[in-house]
A and B are shown apart, each in its own frame.
Chain A
Amino acid sequence: MESGGLMHTLAFFLLSGITLAAAMGVVFKRNLVQSAFLLSVTFLGVAGLYMTLEAEFMAAVQALVYSGAVAVLVVIGVMLTHREQMSRSNPPNKMLFAGAFAALSVVGVMVWAILATPWKVGKGSVVTAGDIGRRFLTDFAPPFEAVALLLLAALIGAVVLFKGGKAQS
């Protein structure tokens, strides 16, 4: 998608609108299941934003991993742990205003920093999946392996935790 074009502008606003609206839904909805589905929508919106950034591989991974795996995982988690009325399953706590204040102040600082900073925008470049793959197997091989190990550990850990120890069974 051509950067700077009308289509690009439209797509950006549309996608960021969807993303942020869905994210608001995730946060404000009182129904946990709705939140979980809106989370999936948010992920897809982010994937769309990646497309506008000409990072097609990232978009694909985002759609697959987040909207696919993570969202499903979350829904399963909801299903496993929930037992009360679903419409009041996602209530806020007592810190509503304190949390709002903290979040707003963080956002305020970040927005101010973003706007105040004179970004040096270069001509930009497009990255292909092939580039990423090569980098993974050359420069970034050690962290790649580390992440692989991490995923394995997380897998085993998750299984162990779900299964539960003897004391709890």
Chain B
Amino acid sequence: MWVDFSLHHAWLIPLLPALAFAIISFFLLRSPQLASRLAIAAMGSAFLIALGVGWAVVSKGITVEAPFVMKTVWFSMPGLVAGMGVLIDPIAAMMLFVVSLISLLVLIYSTGYMTGDPGYARFFAFMSLFAASMLAMVIATNFLQLFVFWELVGLCSYLLIGWYFHKISAREAGKKAFMTTRIGDFGLLLGILFLQIAFGTLDFGELAVKVPAYVSQNGAALMTCVALLLFAGPVAKSGQFPLHVWLPDAMEGPTPVSALIHAATMVVAGVYLVARAFAIFSVLPGAMTVIAWLGCFTALFAACIALTQREIKRILAFSTISQLGYMMLALGVGSLTASMFHLMTHAFFKALLFLGAGSILHALHDKADIFEMGGLRKSMPATCAMMGIAVLAIAGIPPFAGFFSKDEILVAAAHVSTPLYIGASFTAFLTAFYMARLFLVAFFGEENPHDHPHESGMSMLFPMGVLAVLSIFAGAVPFALGFGDWVRFGPAHHAGIDWGIASASTLIALAGFSLAWLIYGGGAKRSDAIAKQAGVLYSLSLNKFYVDELYQWFNRNIVTGLARVLYWVDLNVVDGIVDGAAQKSGAVGAILRRFQTGQTQQYAAVMLIATVMLALILAFSAGAVAGGGKI
């Protein structure tokens, strides 16, 4: 009953938070308590429906091959029919579950975290819209619908990252996020346009049939280009190198926003898009290779940066980029299951990490440098314990969630290419190291005598508790229940644990922990010494490999220079043509105005002479004498 209702009213999942957004923005901006309750109620209902959808998928045997689809025509014109609808398959159901759950928990958390913020009600409105856009994107049946909500997600991220708009850095961060993702969206839009032109449809189901057929007939070259264009969207949205630069800056937003962006809504949209269009990507080995290597590189690259960052949220941001690289890598090596599995577990423990970080920041009044925290385990025991769970989960220590999903990715990578496996494993080592560093420095170390941190309230601890439980069990339980039977592409995938790889990765993670303990267990002095020894490498990592600076340099010199050239062209060539045309018109007018004397008699004379000429022309061109005897 409830299951049936959920399945057939899956469109309610995005609609409820969207309605909450509308109601809050129109009626409840002045009543924050009501606003937050409404947002949570709407999201809670959406979560319940999402649960029902998930149950329906399992109980009704909805598979990737036979998804549940409800479609209607949005608009149609010759050559273009745009549909709108709901597509439920195990992947979408999993996403709905994860996104709505995390959004719900983050909303509950926000009631505590955002207390006293002047825009409290507005915050809940935006968060609802953010979640609604993401949920609607998840159930899209075609590229156009997906793109619409994809952009809406981008808009919400802009609004929320720039939440503290009185701060210049926050405004700039919002703009940076929006514009960086736009670069990718441009490619994505081009790819979508190409698909529409080439195949006359944007429907995922139809494309999944037509594209492989096209590729087997005409070769993969053209479609590889299109796939890479499509992939540009996820590169920007999911913070893959080289468009990852917006993600660390997105930390300017309130911490719940960061949690939502990093765990559930924004960044995984890119991964989800690739997964949703996997039928296109999977037949293009070239594109897959690019995705895999880019993912691997991003994972390693971001992990290297995360090693030296000092702000807690920045470390987490680079860790997110790194983990997203993992997901892309998994997709690139053809394991949709591993990618989605990691997406899910990562959503839980990364949300937990961010909420924990938020709890710390809340306690320390937005002091973000981990080296200034110190000894928080005594004052914030619950936060400490839950952060510890999250760290173990992300590092991939069994039996925590991250272990299983990361293991799946490593297995899949090892099957395809050894270098990818080594890169991924090394990233795992780095991940363990920097997460342990964060944990040790922030919670152990010496207490900072100036701070008097206190444990956060229940509204914040409760969502963290839920996420902590999920971070422990969300790996093992789905693994045991056969996650790969449902969320997959192609034949069902029964991955047993590859004990060799599993033990290796566990050892690697423990090695990372040990190294961190060696360096940071004894206070900050030893780490500073090592930083000095590392020299160039340290400053490279600290400055994020100067990618931002490179972009700035590029902007300042190339873009501005080009703009100057174009400005000159505009001023002299384009305007020159326009001005020249105007001047010539004026000159012609100056000549013609002599004919315009205003003297009626001249006009009459000209008219008469013209009439005479016409009469003569008619008379002679008719080939007969005028009158021609016709009277």
Question: Do A and B contact each other directly (Cβ–Cβ < 8 Å)?
Answer: yes
CB interface residues, B 550-584, toward A, < 8 Å = none
Is the Cβ of B601 less than 8 Å from the Cβ of A99?
yes
Q: How far apart are A11's CB and chain B's nearest CB, in angstroms? A: 26
CB distance from B108 to the nearest CB of A (A): 79
**Can you offer 18 A-B residue contacts whose CB atoms are under 8 A?**
A93-B601, A95-B601, A95-B602, A95-B605, A98-B602, A98-B605, A101-B609, A102-B612, A109-B615, A113-B619, A113-B626, A113-B627, A116-B627, A117-B626, A117-B629, A117-B631, A119-B631, A120-B631
Interface string of B581-609 (1 = CB under 8 A from A): 00000000000000000000110010011
- A93, A99, A102: most-surrounded residue (chain B CB, <10 A): A102
- B34 touches A (CB below 8 Å): no
Measured in the bound complex, the distance between the Cα atoms of B365 and A140 in whole Å is 102
**For A93, what are the chain B residues with a Cβ–Cβ distance below 8 Å?**
601
- Residues of chain B within 8 A (CB-CB) of A105 are 608-609, 612
Measured between beta carbons, the chain A residues less than 8 angstroms from B605 are 95, 98-99, 102
Query: Which residues 77-114 in A have Cβ within 8 Å of B in the complex?
Result: 93, 95, 98-99, 101-103, 105-106, 109, 112-113
Please tell me if A118 contacts chain B, counting CB pairs below 8 Å: yes
- Residues of chain A with a CB closer than 8 A to B612's CB: 102, 105-106, 109
- The answer to whether A112 and B602 touch (CB under 8 A), given A105-B612, A119-B631, is no
Which of A95, A101, A102, A112 meets B626, CB within 8 Å? A112
Instruction: With CB as the reference atom, state the residue of chain B lying closest to A114.
Output: B627
| Known A102-B605, A118-B627, A119-B631; further 5 A-B contacts with Cβ < 8 A | A103-B608, A106-B611, A109-B615, A117-B631, A120-B631
Say yes or no: is B225 at the interface (Cβ < 8 Å to chain A). Answer: no
Chain B interface helix/strand/loop/mixed = helix
The DSSP consensus for interface residues of chain A is helix
Residues of B within 8 A of A116 (CB): 625-627
The listed residue with most A CB atoms (<10 A of its CB), out of B609, B619, B627, is: B627
Tell me how far the C-beta of A118 lies from the nearest C-beta in chain B, rounded to whole angstroms. Answer: 5
B530 at the interface (CB under 8 A from A): no
| Most chain B C-beta atoms within 10 Å of own C-beta, residue among A116, A119, A120 | A116
Rounded to whole Å, the gap between the CB of B615 and the closest CB of chain A is 5
Q: Kindly state the separation between the CA atoms of A157 and B114 in the bound complex, as whole angstroms.
A: 82
List of 10 A-B pairs having minimum Cβ-Cβ separation, nearest first: A117-B627, A102-B605, A102-B608, A113-B626, A105-B612, A116-B625, A118-B629, A102-B609, A109-B612, A109-B615
Measured between alpha carbons, how far is A3 from B569 in the docked complex, in Å?
Answer: 85
Using Cβ atoms and an 8 Å threshold, which residues of chain A touch B626?
112-113, 116-117
Q: Chain B 611-628 against A: per-residue CB contact (8 Å), 1 yes, 0 no?
A: 110011001000001110
Give complex CA distance A99, B609 in Å: 10
Closest Cβ–Cβ distance, residue B517 to chain A (whole Å): 102
Question: Which chain B positions have C-beta within 8 A of A119?
Answer: 631
Residues of B within 8 A of A (CB): 601-602, 605, 608-609, 611-612, 615-616, 619, 625-627, 629, 631
Q: Is A109 a contact partner of B616 (Cβ separation < 8 A)? A: yes
* Residue in chain B with minimal CB distance to A105: B612
B521 to chain A, nearest CB (A): 102
Q: Which residue of chain A has its CB nearest to the CB of B630? A: A117
Residues of B within 8 A of A99 (CB): 601, 605
CB-CB < 8 A to A106: which residues of B?
608, 611-612
The residues of B that contact A109 with a CB separation of less than 8 Å are 612, 615-616
Assembly CA distance A150 to B469 (angstroms): 100
Give Cα distance in the complex from A105 to B613, angstroms: 9
- The distance in angstroms between the C-alpha atoms of A2 and B411, with both chains bound, is 128
Q: Determine the chain B residues whose CB is within 8 A of the CB of A103 once the complex forms.
A: 608
Q: Which residue of A is nearest B606, CB measured?
A: A102
CA distance A106 to B626 in the complex (A): 14
Q: Which residue of B lies closest to A120 (CB)?
A: B631
Q: Which residues of A contact B602 (CB under 8 A)?
A: 95, 98
Report A140-155 residues with CB < 8 Å from chain B CB: none
Give the residues in chain B near A118, CB-CB below 8 Å: 627, 629, 631
Minimum CB–CB distance from B317 to chain A (whole Å) comes to: 79
The distance from the CB of A27 to the nearest CB of chain B, in whole angstroms, is 14
In the complex, what's the smallest C-beta–C-beta distance from B419 to chain A, in angstroms?
A: 95
Q: What residues on B are CB-neighbors of A113 within 8 Å? A: 615, 619, 626-627
Shortest CB-to-CB span from A93 to chain B, Å, is: 7
Find chain A residues with CB under 8 A from B629 CB. 117-118
How far apart sit A112 and B629, CA to CA, in the bound complex (Å)? 14
Q: Which residue of B lies closest to A117 (CB)?
A: B627
Q: How far is the CB of B621 from chain A (nearest CB, A)?
A: 15
Alpha-carbon gap, A99 to B616, bound state (A): 19
Contacts of B625 in A (CB 8 A): 116
Nearest CB to that of B610 among chain A residues? A102
Report B-chain residues with C-beta under 8 Å of the C-beta of A95: 601-602, 605
Bound form: Cα–Cα A103–B619 in Å: 19
How many Å lie between the Cα of A119 and that of B612 in the bound state? 22
Q: How distant is the Cα of A102 from the Cα of B601 in the complex, in angstroms?
A: 11
- Taken together as a complex, chains A and B put the C-alpha atoms of A103 and B627 apart, in Å, by 21
User: How far apart are the CA atoms of A64 and B434 in the complex, in Å?
Assistant: 119
B381 to chain A, nearest CB (A): 96
A-chain residues with CB within 8 Å of residue B611 when the two chains form the complex: 106
Q: In the bound complex, what is the Cα–Cα distance between A99 and B603 (angstroms)? A: 11
Cα of A118 to Cα of B628 in the assembled complex, Å: 8
A112: which B residues are within 8 A, CB to CB? 626
Q: Determine the residue in chain A with the shortest Cβ distance to B613.
A: A105
Assembled-state Cα–Cα distance A120/B611 (Å): 26
Tell me which residues across on chain A come within 8 A of B609, comparing CB atoms: 101-102, 105
CA distance A112 to B627 in the complex (A): 10
Q: Which residue of A lies closest to B616 (CB)?
A: A109
Docked pose: A112 CA to B601 CA in angstroms: 25
User: How distant is the Cα of A8 from the Cα of B239 in the complex, in angstroms?
Assistant: 111
Complex alpha-carbon distance, A101 and B615, angstroms: 16
- Give bound CA distance, A161 to B631, whole Å: 44
Residues of A contacting B615 with CB < 8 Å?
109, 113
Bound-state CA distance A102–B627 (Å) is 22
A134 smallest CB distance to B (angstroms): 27
Contacts of A102 in B (CB 8 A): 605, 608-609, 612
How far is it, in angstroms, between the C-alpha of A101 and the C-alpha of B608 when the chains are bound?
10
Considering the chains assembled together, what is the distance between the CA atoms of A113 and B622 in angstroms?
14
Give the shortest distance, in Å, between A13 (CB) and chain B (any CB). Answer: 25
Contact digits for A124-163, partner B, Cβ 8 Å, 1 yes 0 no: 0000000000000000000000000000000000000000
